[in-house]
Amino acid sequence: LKRAQAVCEDAAVDVRLIRADMLTHVEPESYDVVLNVFTSFGYFDDPRDNARVLRNAHESLAPGGQLLIDVMGKEVLAGWIGRPQIVELDGAYVVQRDTVLDSWTRLRTDWTLVRDGIARDASITSFLYSAAELRGLFEDAGFAEVECFGGFDGEPYDHHSKRLIVRGTKPGGDRGSS
């Protein structure tokens, strides 16, 4: 947050940065946009907690405000699951392995970082959502005009997409879905 604040100050942008727990943070009708990017949704073990995050965002948006979530959709993942991904870094590399769990409802991602002959492992588990499932969660949380895209440029979500971007609008505003 300190680096983000410094960048915003250098750019002469007036922002308020907040560190809070997404399970409890609500500021009624305070935001025009809520962004959740880089697959930062679906990590709670209880699916009701993931739904709570959507309801908190809905409650915190002003009428007409929008929530955007960026995840790896099930449809995208199905095209390449099972193939390890290797990322080379300066003097090191990371091997990423993804495993589908629980009848395609959850994903475990395992990483191995190798640097100077030493390997370190980490792993994380998250829920997997299809476009239809995530659209339904948005609607259950009260969002309208829910749309799914294959990228931030608004391209269609299909079998060529690399990401699933879902956008929903809190009813009551006059912004539309532009």
**What domains are there in the chain, each with its CATH number?**
2-71+129-169 (3.40.50.150), 77-127 (2.20.25)
For residue 8, give the H/E element and its range.
Answer: helix 2-10
Tokens of 168: 């929903």
Q: What is the mean pLDDT of residues 38-45?
A: 92
- Look at residue 175 in the predicted model and tell me its pLDDT: 52
Angle at the Cα of 100 from the Cα atoms of 98 and 103, rounded to 5 degrees: 175
**Whole-structure pTM value:** 0.87
DSSP class of residue 44 equals: S
Q: What is the mean pLDDT of residues 90-118?
A: 94
Beta bridge partners of 31: 61
Separation CA 71–CA 44 (nearest Å): 15
What CA dihedral angle connects 129, 105, 36 and 97, to 10 degrees?
-110
